[in-house]
Amino acid sequence: MSNSQKIGFIGLGIMGAPMAGHLIAAGHELHVNTRSKVPEEIANTTAVKAATPAEVAQNADIIFIMVPDTPDVEKVLFGENGLASGLSKGKIVIDMSSISPIATKEFAKKINALDCEYLDAPVSGGQVGAKNATLSIMVGGSESTFEKIKPLFALLGKNINLVGGNGDGQTAKVANQIIVALNIEAVGEALLFAAKAGADPEKVRQALMGGFASSKILEVHGERMIKRTFDPGFRIELHQKDLNLALSSAKALGVSLPNTATAQELFNSCTAHGGKAWDHSAMVRALEKLANFEIGQKA
């Protein structure tokens, strides 16, 4: 691969903007498109603003997409002046959004029919991971395309895995979001229990960090729960979207996910209290409402 490539990036939100920034910093020629204003951190670089996704596709050989949900990706790909209408043979489309695995397989088929390659490459690690280029990237698609794009993925993340064919990256991401939600719920219950019992939740957290209960969620989100730092992060409404994907896919597959459903109901409660933009660690607030007690309180 040559050092500088013509890359497209569609979606410059709290995740997309820093990711695009890493590609620009590495010396690549970037063509960008986003539905709101191009953020200053990108506008002040060499990035070329494109009016439509089609224009991005015409000017770039490799196009990244980072938008919120399945309908957003569909619109970017196949809407009016969508990416598909600007693609030509041999170009590569990489969707890094977290969307439906079932829809992803359909999108990939349509892009492949244009003689182009498609990777689904959702990420885990949130805004912090995007800024620090430490995202975990779960990829679905052909091995040869994955190997071509791997050096670019390495500019965005650390833990980069080809999981399988198209759709399998998204399936891995849904599985990731199930584990994260249930871990947040477990840490919330544990710290709430400890605080209500009169123990210092921070000291309990430190003690648990050395044992089998240790986790990234206990480390990062446990601290957020104690310090009450619920600015995103990763917004509850986005995690709700991911659990929706889990529950609707599970229904289609005939699989029961009882605790995923419970975690979603706790997120629903947070949203009902005006918390759709809180960090997902604020799920603990729903548990605190049930207990009529906050972790920071004195018992």
Active-site residue flag, 196: no
Phi/psi for 157 (5° steps) reads: -150, 180
Query: What is the Cα–Cα distance from 71 to 100, expressed in whole angstroms?
Result: 10
What is the Cα–Cα distance from 248 to 255, expressed in whole angstroms? 10
DSSP H helices in the chain: 16-25, 40-43, 53-59, 70-78, 83-86, 101-112, 126-132, 143-153, 168-196, 201-209, 216-227, 236-253, 258-272, 284-291
Instruction: Please give the backbone phi and psi of residue 104, each rounded to the nearest 5 degrees, phi first.
Output: -55, -45
Question: Catalytic pick from 173, 216, 241, 276?
Answer: 173
According to DSSP, the residues that pair with 272 across neighbouring strands are none
Closest CA to 7 of 68, 66, 51, 48: 48
The two three-digit tokens of residue 110, written as one number: 């349509």
Neighbour tally for 296: CB within 10 Å: 13
Q: What is the DSSP string of 157-208?
A: EEEEEEEESTTHHHHHHHHHHHHHHHHHHHHHHHHHHHHHTT--HHHHHHHH
Cα 147–153–159 angle (5° rounding)? 95
Active site residues: 173
